Amino acid sequence: MKKIAVIGQGYVGLPLAIEFSQHFPVIGFDINKERVDELNSGQDRTLEADLEKLNQGIQSAKATNFTKGYKASCDLGELATAQIYIVTVPTPIDKFNAPDLAPLIKASEMLGKVIKKGDIIIYESTVYPGCTEEDCVPVLEKFSGLELNQDFYVGYSPERIVPGDKVNTLTTIMKVTSGSTPEIAEEIDQLYKTIITAGTHKATNIKVAEASKAIENAQRDVNISFVNELALIFDRIGIDTNDVLEAAGTKFNFLKYKPGLVGGHCISVDPYYLAHKAVQLGYHPNVILSGRRVNDSVAEFIASKVIKLMIKKQKTIDYSNALILGVTFKENCPDVRNTKVVDVYKELQEYGVDVDIYDPWANPEEVMHEYGVNICKELPQKTYDAIILAVAHNEFLTLDINKLKNDQAVVYDIKACLDRDLVDGRL
Q: Does domain 4-204 have CATH number 3.40.50.720?
A: yes
Average per-residue pLDDT in the chain? 95
* Alpha helix ranges (H) inside 32-94: 33-40, 51-63, 76-79
pLDDT at 280 over 80: yes
> Do 9 and 40 meet the contact criterion of CB atoms below 8 Å apart?
no
pLDDT at 263: 86
Domain ranges of the chain: 4-204, 297-426
End-to-end CA distance of the chain: 54
pLDDT tens digit sequence for 181-237: 999 999 999 999 999 999 999 999 999 999 999 999 999 999 999 999 999 999 999
Q: Are 323 and 387 in contact (CB under 8 A)?
A: yes
**Calpha distance 356→398 (Å, rounded):** 20
Q: What is the CATH number of domain 297-426?
A: 3.40.50.720
Q: Find the catalytic residue in 74, 131, 136, 266.
A: 266
Beta bridge partners of 357: 324
DSSP 47: S
The answer to whether residues 337 and 400 touch, using CB atoms and an 8 Å cutoff, is: no
Report the run of H or E that residue 185 belongs to, with start and end: helix 182-193
pLDDT tier at 90 (50, 70, 90 boundaries)? Answer: very high
- Provide the whole-model pTM: 0.92
Domains 4-204 and 297-426 share a fold: yes
Does the active-site annotation cover 74? no
Residue 331: pLDDT band (50, 70, 90) is very high
Q: Which of the residue ranges 3-7, 59-63, 245-249, 346-350 would you say has the lowest mean pLDDT?
A: 59-63
